[in-house]
């Protein structure tokens, strides 16, 4: 069974940085797209960033601060988060899309931005 496992979450002060990593149990070249969503308490899950082929897309709220990247050799997709704000506090979920199949989700990792 294909699995996605996130890591790298934690507590960070405003203005700080964190790097999230999503490791797949299979080669990520089978996925048409991979990305990150987040869900804050009391809010709907929202797209943060997606990488599809050689293209990347970001939510307006994170543009210029977050960078998504993939490493096919390591089967990982990372999210580098800089200049973090309290409003970035959420559970971050990795996902992967396969052609003609359901979306895969990781279990989530908590990111808390607080002084």
Mean pLDDT of the chain: 96
Phi, psi of 31, rounded to the nearest 5 degrees: -90, 135
Which tens digits make up the pLDDT trace of 4-50?
Answer: 999 999 999 999 999 999 999 999 999 999 999 999 999 999 999 99
Arithmetic mean of pLDDT, 71-94: 97
User: In angstroms, how far is the first alpha carbon of the chain from the final one?
Assistant: 40
Distance of CA 65 to the CA centre of its chain: 13
User: Alpha-carbon distance 42 to 53, whole Å?
Assistant: 33
User: Alpha-carbon distance 69 to 78, whole Å?
Assistant: 5
């Amino acid at each position: 069974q294909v699995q996605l496992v996130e890591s790298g979450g934690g507590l960070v002060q405003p203005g700080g940085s964190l790097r999230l990593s999503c490791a797949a149990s299979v080669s990520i070249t089978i996925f048409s797209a991979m990305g990150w969503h987040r869900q804050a308490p009391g809010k709907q899950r929202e797209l943060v960033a997606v990488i599809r082929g050689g293209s990347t897309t970001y939510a307006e709220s994170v543009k210029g601060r977050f960078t998504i990247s993939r490493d096919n050799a390591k089967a990982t997709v990372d999210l580098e988060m800089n200049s973090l704000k309290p409003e970035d506090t959420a559970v971050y979920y990795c996902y992967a899309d396969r052609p003609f199949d359901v979306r895969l989700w990781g279990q989530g990792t908590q990111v808390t931005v607080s002084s």
